Amino acid sequence: MPNPVVISIDAMGGDHGPSVIVPAVALAAKSLPDVRFLLHGDEAQLNAQLAKCPDARTVSEVRHTDKAISMEEKPAQAMRRGKGTSLWNAVEAIRAGEAAACVSAGNTGALMAISKLILRMGANLERPAIVASWPTMQGVSAVLDVGANVESDAKQLIEFAIMGAAFHHAVHGSERPTVGLLNVGSEDQKGHEEVREAHAILKETRLDFDYRGFVEGTDIAKGTVDVVVTDGFTGNVALKTAEGLARFFGAEIKATLTSGPLAMLGALIASGALKKMRRRLDPGRVNGGPLLGLNGIVVKSHGGADALGYASAIRVAVDLARSDFSAEIERNLKRLTETSLKAGAEEEKAGGVSGAEGQGASE
């Protein structure tokens, strides 16, 4: 029988702390019988919640600390006082080999900074990226980066494509993920220099995914590709815009369906379909954004997630821990390097031949 997967939990992170996280562990434990948990946080609060959730108690070990990082702290401040906090200890458990992955609903900037300090970046990767699972007309797409990097050069965009494809394969089950670069148009000449350069390299390199070229903003919700790659500034704006629109449409639908007796009758008749739509668009269904590129698995849950949403983030961490996610990234990075070296050698050879011909002509 294989060893259980151990997930390290920052049990004090997020808007609700143990009151949501412990029930989430109980939910996850029901569907993931071979997973165990390390809960980092205040022992008294955690034991009080575990007493109400026997399914969580039997699979959890409490690691006490009375220190926690608030949601408002700046990353620099969190780094200075981070040691010994629930967030720090949860990530440290990966480095110590006690856990396969970490989940936190805490301060995003602090989680990013502390994770990068403790785990470091994976081999040959420059920067981490946050990936979001995005409901679409075709299923679920992965969009990255959605906030870790304000700007990204061509090399980093290519790395995001490699990491995003590996993530989609591991978590959403695509055999050969389709990948697109987010741009202001689909033509090759569109966009800024870094996007065009990344596009040219991805077209010429044989990797373990299907690169489809440029995609536009409307393609995200359509599900035109499995993975949408962009810089963190653009990705974060797109994500927050989508979240705002979802709330707006939800409020408008509710107001319309409660506007009068006939509307309320129609809502009652359509209640089954409306519930199905609400479940389809529920952010909790696809909660859990991994910090890709680190030398370890760290998953960020939405700070306001309920127990069902947090359990979804736990499942993402487990799926990544059970996959060959890291090996797939390494394979594609190696192919990228080999392609780059080959192109450089051919360019140097062509330059040498040209120089020799020029010398011959001058003689």
pTM above 0.85, yes or no: no
Does residue 353 belong to any structural domain of this protein? yes
3-state secondary structure at position 143: strand
Note the residue count of the chain. Answer: 363
Summarised one tens digit per residue, pLDDT across range 101-155 is 999 999 988 999 999 999 998 877 888 899 988 888 888 899 998 888 888 999 9
Query: Are residues 56 and 189 located together in one domain of the fold?
Result: no
Query: Are residues 160 and 306 located together in one domain of the fold?
Result: no
Summarised one tens digit per residue, pLDDT across range 44-92 is 999 999 999 999 999 999 999 999 998 888 888 888 888 999 999 999 9
Binned at pLDDT 50, 70 and 90, residue 285 comes out as low
> How far, in Å, are 42, 92, 116, 196, 315 from residue 86 at the CA level?
8, 10, 16, 42, 20
Does residue 187 belong to any structural domain of this protein? yes
- The CATH number that applies at residue 226 is 3.40.718.10
Does residue 80 belong to any structural domain of this protein? yes
Query: Are residues 105 and 133 located together in one domain of the fold?
Result: no
Domain that holds residue 329: 123-236+324-363
Query: Are residues 148 and 14 located together in one domain of the fold?
Result: no
| Range 132-159 burial, b when 16+ CB lie within 10 A, else e | bbbbbeeebbbbbbbbbbeebbbbbbbb
- Read off the tokens for 16: 């609700």
Query: Are residues 136 and 228 located together in one domain of the fold?
Result: yes
Query: Are residues 168 and 178 located together in one domain of the fold?
Result: yes
Which residue in 93, 140, 137 sits closest to 119, CA to CA?
93
Q: Which residues contact 20 (CB under 8 A, 6 or more apart)?
A: 14, 305, 306, 307, 310
C-alpha count within 13 angstroms, C-beta hemisphere, residue 150:
1
Map tokens 């299923």 to a residue. Answer: 139
Query: Are residues 141 and 74 located together in one domain of the fold?
Result: no
Query: Are residues 46 and 152 located together in one domain of the fold?
Result: no
Query: Are residues 140 and 220 located together in one domain of the fold?
Result: yes
- State the amino acid at position 206 in one-letter form: R
Query: Are residues 114 and 152 located together in one domain of the fold?
Result: no
Map tokens 């679920």 to a residue. Answer: 140
| pLDDT for residue 256 is more than 70 | yes
Does residue 267 belong to any structural domain of this protein? no
Q: Rounded to an integer, what distance in angstroms lies between the CA atom of residue 310 and that of residue 54?
A: 18
> How far, in Å, are 13, 102, 117, 130, 145 from residue 84 at the CA level?
14, 16, 14, 25, 29
Q: Rounded to an integer, what distance in angstroms lies between the CA atom of residue 87 and that of residue 104?
A: 7
Does residue 286 belong to any structural domain of this protein? no
| pLDDT for residue 215 is more than 80 | yes
Does residue 355 belong to any structural domain of this protein? yes
Query: Are residues 68 and 128 located together in one domain of the fold?
Result: no
Q: Rounded to an integer, what distance in angstroms lies between the CA atom of residue 20 and that of residue 11?
A: 9
